[in-house]
């Protein structure tokens, strides 16, 4: 689940943007799971950045994890993915992309991968 730091500023009730003061129905959270590949990707990002700046590496991983956790509250926030039946969401303020899939029947969002936006996605790793 997202930490308080991750959700800072996101805890306010959603409002109708058409000018109404009515509150929208609270979003229902779904479980967020990470595939082993996604965990390896995040660890790889951390290792690469920590060679140059350990503090930045920690901050980047925290932001990627927070963005991933946020997908549990808004699973369709991303756009249609490069691979069919997936979604992608760019981590705000970072050149990193989270690839995920939503399973409505199981009420969960699965993080499939995380990578730098300059990564060549046409290659299979």
Cα–Cα distance, 68 to 63 (Å, whole number): 8
Residue 17 counted as domain residue: no
Structural domain including 76 reads: 31-116
Q: In what order do the strands lie in the sheet with 79-80?
A: 31-34, 108-116, 96-103, 87-90, 79-80
Number of domains in the chain: 1
- Residue 109 sits in a domain whose CATH number is 3.30.2310.20
Tens-digit pLDDT profile for residues 17-53: 555 555 545 556 889 999 999 999 999 999 999 999 9
| Within a domain: 19 | no
pTM for this model (two decimals): 0.76
Model pLDDT for residues 59-99, shown as the tens digit of each residue: 999 999 999 999 999 999 999 998 999 999 999 999 999 99
Question: Which contacts (CB < 8 Å, 24+ apart) does range 50-59 have?
Answer: none
Structure confidence at residue 10 as a pLDDT band (50, 70, 90): very low
Residue 36 is assigned to a structural domain of this protein? yes
Whether residue 124 lies inside any domain: the answer is no
Does the residue 62 lie in any domain? yes
16 in any annotated domain: no
Instruction: Provide the CA 94 distance to its chain's centre, in angstroms.
Output: 12
């Amino acid at each position: 689940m997202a930490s308080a730091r991750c959700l800072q500023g996101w805890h306010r009730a959603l409002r109708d943007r058409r000018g109404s003061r009515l509150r929208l129905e609270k979003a229902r959270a779904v479980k967020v799971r990470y595939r082993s590949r996604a965990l390896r990707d995040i660890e790889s990002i951390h290792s690469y950045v920590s060679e140059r700046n350990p503090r930045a590496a920690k901050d980047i991983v925290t932001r990627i994890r927070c963005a991933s956790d946020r997908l549990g509250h808004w699973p369709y926030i991303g756009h249609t993915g490069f691979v069919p039946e997936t979604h992608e969401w760019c981590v705000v303020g970072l050149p990193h992309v989270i690839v995920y899939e939503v399973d409505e029947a199981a009420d969960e969002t699965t993080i499939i991968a995380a990578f730098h936006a300059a990564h060549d996605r046409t290659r299979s790793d």
